Structure 1
């Protein structure tokens, strides 16, 4: 019988922040369940830049900080994710001069 092996040591690694692929300033438009301003926000859209046949990009409400109104400009980040990357809003900014 062979001697017992030393127990495996698990090394704890600090979680790495997700990788940011791209930053951009985009206009977000809120899409609600009903036309009523008090109804639930389903998602946000930004025009253009979609892949394939999509003419807009969809952003989940949990990835956008709260703001007033139906449209606003945000600094956006395209973030590494599993199983696919996603856009998240970092902060609200003023519209660009050419908008």
Structure 2
């Protein structure tokens, strides 16, 4: 999801189900790790890339939203 309605916006994040005390449900993603998409929101299969000094998330492929979304 882009944070603003600006098509040039580079703030991307995703949310995950669950979460809880001390766990954030939102994670920010570097724009170059997400393929272009239409509109302000899209659903992607995500992959955690292990790395040093930091691991990061990247979008693997765009998918259809779940029925309850």
Q: Which TM-score band (shorter chain)?
A: 0.5 to 0.7
Q: Which runs of 5+ in 1 are unaligned?
A: 1-30
Counterpart contact for 2:11–2:28, Cα < 8 Å: no
By how many angstroms is 1:86 displaced?
1.0
For 1:63 and 1:76, the matched residues in 2 are separated by 10
Counterpart contact for 1:46–1:58, Cα < 8 Å: no
Q: Which runs of 5+ in 2 are unaligned?
A: none
For 2:51 and 2:17, the matched residues in 1 are separated by 22
Counterpart in the other structure of 2:19: 49
Decide which structure has the larger Cα Rg and report it: 1
Counterpart contact for 2:33–2:58, Cα < 8 Å: yes
By how many angstroms is 1:84 displaced?
1.8
Question: What are the equivalent positions in structure 2 for 1:1-99 lying under 5 Å apart?
Answer: 35-41=5-11, 52=22, 54-99=24-69
- CA shift in 2, pair 1:40/1:55, >3 Å: closer
The structure whose residues are more often strand, as a share, is: 1
The number of aligned residues is: 69
Alignment root-mean-square deviation, CA: 3.2
